[in-house]
Each structure stands twice: as structure tokens, then as C-alpha cells.
Structure 1
Amino acid sequence: MQLLSKDSLHRGGFAGLKETRLIVDNKIGGQSDTWNGLGNFIYLADARFSPKGQTGMHPHKELDVISIMLEGNIEHKGSMENGKSMGANQVQAQRAGGEGFVHNEINPDNAENRMLQLWVLPEVAGEPASYQFYDLKKDQMVRVYGGSKSDSKTLDSQTIIEVGLLTKETKITKQGEFMAYVTGGTGTLNGVEVTDGDLIRDVGLDFTVQSEQVHLTLIYLNK
């Protein structure tokens, strides 16, 4: 089992947000203090937007961008789903594809928010741009990315991302290699106590929630 704590890393940022990057894969210039991802999963940042802060309009191409709201709200501006709002316990997944998209994520409130951003490289180049939106459900792991092309509910990939809003004593198990990121609470993962901002890589997941609530972001390969 490998564990990387958010608090052990440098906190940087740009524009109106501060972020800690835990995964910056070698494919995109990662350094020794961050981890490589799993499969086509290449990037994970834990970010807080300043009050009224924003990223500024910027482009993506041939990249899938998954945004998970933990606290507060975001207003999404851009070439896909312009004007869409996202609040705590909601997730958006955007595929830039060969078409590409531009977007700006804006904190509309007078308080900080918190959002996770994950990047995955698409397996097929030249796909059309597309957008998916999800509400998390208590004590369920919701698939927000990955699966077969025939499943219209998710962007297709062999790299799977599931997110759970889990309450005390809920148990989650999974076979095979995985990466998991814990936020907003504590739990026991494969016999080790884990807490907010812990990133774990291991084989075979056995997780039990210890606090009243916790977010679990789980990444694995569909084999």
C-alpha cells in the first residue's frame, strides 16, 4: 500500500484558485513529488476557488476533464453547457475530443469552495466534444466516467472513476489495482486509518467509513 498526503505537498495555483496537485503523470511532465496515474488517468488536483474567483476562459483538446464539487458552488461557462451550475455533491465530465472546448469555472459566492479536478486521456482520438452531469447519492458509488461506448450515461473508457458520498460504517470493497482519494472525513482502508487529503494506491480495496460522512473517489481499470 502506498499513501500520499495532500498536506505533504506544495500548494500552488493560478488565477482565482489555489490547488494541490497530487497526480501529475510523467506523460504530462510530472515531477518526483507527485504520482503517476493509473491507465489513462493522468492528473488529480484538490482546489479551492477564492470568493468570486475563476479560472478564466481556457481551451482543452483531446482530454477528458472530470470535476467533483465537494463544497460550495461553481458556475460553468464555455462552449458546452454554458451557464450550467454545479453544487456540492455534483459532478461534471467533459470530453474535449478532437473538436475541443473552451471553459471558465467561476465561484459565484462570497466564500471559498472546494473542487477536485481529474484528467483522463481519451483512448480514441478525434471524438466529438461531449458533456455529462451527475448527482451523488448517499452510500452509493456513482460511476461518473468510463465504461463501454454503448453506455450513453458515461464517457467511454477502460479507466473507470466512481465517486461515493458515504456515511458512517458504510463498507466498500473492490478487487484489483486501484487508486482512491479520501475527502471530508476519515475511514479505515486495508487496515490503515486514512483521512481528508489522503491518496492511496493498492491492490484490493476494503474501506470502512469511520466519520459521519466521507467522499471517496475511486479509480480503477475495467479488465
Structure 2
Amino acid sequence: MKKVIDKAESRGRALYDWLDSHHTFSFDTYYNPRRMNFGALRVLNDDRVEAGKGFGTHPHKNMEIISIPLKGKLKHGDSNKNSRTITIGDIQTMSAGTGIYHSEMNGSDTEPVEFLQIWVMPEKLNTPPAYRDYDIRPFLRKNELALIVSPDGDAPAKMLQQTWFSIGEIEAGKKIGYHMHQSHAGV
């Protein structure tokens, strides 16, 4: 497997009065032809949204989206009448499929929200749109990686792509191992 290292300070950035977003791949006004995607992974943004602000209602189609709060409250709403607020220890997944309108807003009027926004290109196009949120706290252990998303139901969340996501809080200097779930030839 080819080793790719992109330092955090080399990411793109969008800075607005309500949003500070760091982009791993080309997104918004950041364009880098070398960083369009990594396999099926299309977007990996680290977003900070000011209190009471957010991404108003907008469309998505044929994309698998996961949001992971790192601080604060993240409020989701969509055209399928889903409305939830999640916080640290929760994740949400959305299959945009044939098309869905949604919003991602800061769920607090006083504190910022920070979250990872991840988009994955689906294995199959034009599936029915779907939204789910999950409490991953029971799976989290200090100095361990917890599988939180998989394509086969081995994790709390499922995506319509051969992708696995793990999360963990690892102490500085601590080493852990990671098992790849499948061959990544061509990635």
C-alpha cells in the first residue's frame, strides 16, 4: 500500500465570519488537483461553526456523509423530517442517495461547535436517502480504537461503501496497532 502523509498545516482553509473549516481534499474555494480524494473518501473537513450559525438547507445526492462532533452541539434537519441534535460521543450518518435536502447547524446559541464532516462516494448510486444517529460511548476505551462505521454491520453505523472508520483517544507516546479490513490495492 502506498504511504501518503499530508501534514495538517498543508490543508486548505475556508474562513468566514461564522465558519472556520480546514479541508483535507479540494473543497469550497480550496483546489489542489493532487488532493481530490483518497479512494472513495471525497471530503474530510474539520469545521468550527460559531454559536447560532451553520450550513442552511442545501441539497446532496449520491454521497455517504458522516458527522462526528468534537466539541459542542450539532443540529441536523432534513427533507425526510429527521431532526436531531448530537454531541461528543454521538455520530450521524446520512445516505444522500437519490437526493435529500438538509441543514447542519450549531445547536447552541452561546458556544461554538466543532465537528468532522466526512463524505464517501457510495458503492451504489440512487439508493433511498437515509439518516441515522448513534451513541458510540459504549464502544470507546482509552488508548484503543473503536470501530464506529463499517459496510457490514460490525460497527454501530453502516455506510453503503467498503469503508471502515475507527476513532480513539490515544495518550501521547502510546503505541497501538491497527488491522486493515481489506486490501487497498490501487488506492
| Class of the TM-score when normalised by the shorter of the 2 chains | 0.7 to 0.9
Shift of 1:45: 0.7
Match of 1:67 in 2: 67
The question of whether the paired residues in 1 share the 8 Å contact of 2:42 and 2:119 is answered with yes
Structure 1's consecutive aligned runs of 4 or more residues displaced over 6 angstroms after TM superposition are 149-152
Cα gap change, 1:142 to 1:22, in 2 (>3 Å): same
Aligned residues: CA RMSD: 3.1
Instruction: Point out where structure 1 has 5 or more consecutive residues left out of the alignment.
Output: 177-220
- Secondary structure class of the residue paired with 2:97: coil
- Residue 174 of structure 1 pairs with residue 174 of structure 2: no
Match of 1:105 in 2: 104
C-alpha distance in 1 between matches for 2:121 and 2:22: 20
Q: 2:149 aligns with which of 142, 145, 148?
A: 145
C-alpha distance in 1 between matches for 2:81 and 2:146: 21
Instruction: Point out where structure 2 has 5 or more consecutive residues left out of the alignment.
Output: none
TM-score computed with the length of structure 1 as normaliser: 0.66
Amino acid at match of 1:105: E
Match of 1:20 in 2: 22
Match of 2:94 in 1: 94
Cα gap change, 1:55 to 1:30, in 2 (>3 Å): closer
Amino acid at match of 1:21: H
C-alpha distance in 2 between matches for 1:87 and 1:29: 28
C-alpha distance in 2 between matches for 1:116 and 1:61: 20
Match of 1:194 in 2: none
Cα gap change, 1:82 to 1:108, in 2 (>3 Å): same
Amino acid at match of 2:75: E
Aligned residue pairs: how many?
A: 176
Give matches, 1:36-75, under 5 Å: 36-75=36-75
C-alpha distance in 2 between matches for 1:10 and 1:39: 19
Identity percentage over the alignment? Answer: 23
C-alpha distance in 1 between matches for 2:165 and 2:66: 9
TM-score computed with the length of structure 2 as normaliser: 0.77
- Secondary structure class of the residue paired with 1:159: coil
Give matches, 1:201-220, under 5 Å: none
- Secondary structure class of the residue paired with 2:56: coil
User: What are the superposed Cα offsets for residues 9-59 of structure 1, whole Å, 9 maximum, x if unpaired?
Assistant: 44215684220111238xx99733863433211111111001111100011
C-alpha distance in 2 between matches for 1:85 and 1:29: 28
C-alpha distance in 1 between matches for 2:59 and 2:153: 25
- Secondary structure class of the residue paired with 1:12: strand
